[in-house]
Amino acid sequence: MISKQQQKYIQSLHNKKYRTEYGQFLVEGEKGISELLHSDYQIIQIYITEEFAQKLPTHKNLMVAPVTQIESVSTYKSNASGIAVVQQKRFEVPENFQGRILILDGLRDPGNLGTIIRLADWYGIEHLICSEDTVEFYNPKVISSTMGSFTRVKPYYLDIHSFMEKYPHPILGADLEGQNVHKWDFPKNMALVIGSESHGISAETERQLTDKVNIPRIGKAESLNAAMATGIILDNMFREI
């Protein structure tokens, strides 16, 4: 059973205001909860259905609850698995970023951010530099569309322009006028900038790019979406031949 007070608390975490105030967030659905249990995120409480409980290892803060109760506090329309209240993490910005990182310039769509986190995890990219107007990492729609990958990627919300000014390695952006991504030689240390869905990379950010690539087009679509372009560029970045 989820008490009335707990229900109210969980529902408050649907809103960014309270997520920020309490420093906690929600993880919902089978995949997210399974990955959460294998991560070092601090779990405050998990409410799951009897059926799903049988598939999971035990956890001291795990409690079985009826589906109807879980659905009444979930942000999903239907949720037959469970919901967890989890402590947010704040990651300290390292002095040097080694390897390849992503810089998000004003990404607004939660589904796109989630997809990019999942991609970063697929390609083993650990660090995600986010402009302050990028959608919140702990938004429930973001968390849900990462399919558990949120546990392995670290976001840093900061002023990306000051960051890029000091960043010592190449900064790459996608641009229709850029060089063919298939022929580009990706350095070991570098940042890839991803623009917003509606406006692309901002003018200020564009001036800070050191290099531009484009994805060759055969047909007539005017563009690809931000997450799709990121996926295709990452596949080129990490290919060995």
Which residues from 209-228 bind a second copy, rule CB under 8 A?
215-225, 227-228
Q: Which of 3, 183, 188, 203 binds a second copy (CB under 8 A)?
A: 183
173 binds a second copy (CB under 8 A): no
64 binds a second copy (CB under 8 A): no
| Interface segment toward a second copy; rule CB under 8 A; list 14-22, 50-58, 143-151, 154-162 | 143-151
Interhelix angle 110-122/226-237, rounded to 10 degrees, is: 10
Nearer Cβ to a second copy (56/215) = 215
241 binds a second copy (CB under 8 A): yes
Nearer Cβ to a second copy (207/217) = 217
Burial classification of residue 26, based on how many CB atoms lie within 10 Å of its CB (0-12 exposed, 13-18 middle, 19 or more buried): buried
CB 120 within 8 A of CB 149: yes
Phi-psi region of 106 (alpha: psi -120 to 50; beta: other; left: phi over 0): left
Pick from 123, 106, 116, 125: nearest CA to 146? 116
CB under 8 Å to 130, separation ≥6 — which residues? Answer: 103, 104, 107, 137, 155, 156, 157, 158, 160
Other CB atoms within a 10 A radius of the CB of residue 137 amount to 23
Q: How far is the CB of 110 from a second copy (least distance, A)?
A: 13
125 binds a second copy (CB under 8 A): yes
Q: Which of 121, 137, 171, 202 binds a second copy (CB under 8 A)?
A: 121
128 binds a second copy (CB under 8 A): no
Q: Which residues bind a second copy (CB under 8 A)?
A: 31, 111, 115, 118-125, 147-149, 152, 182-183, 215-225, 227-228, 231-232, 235-236, 238-241
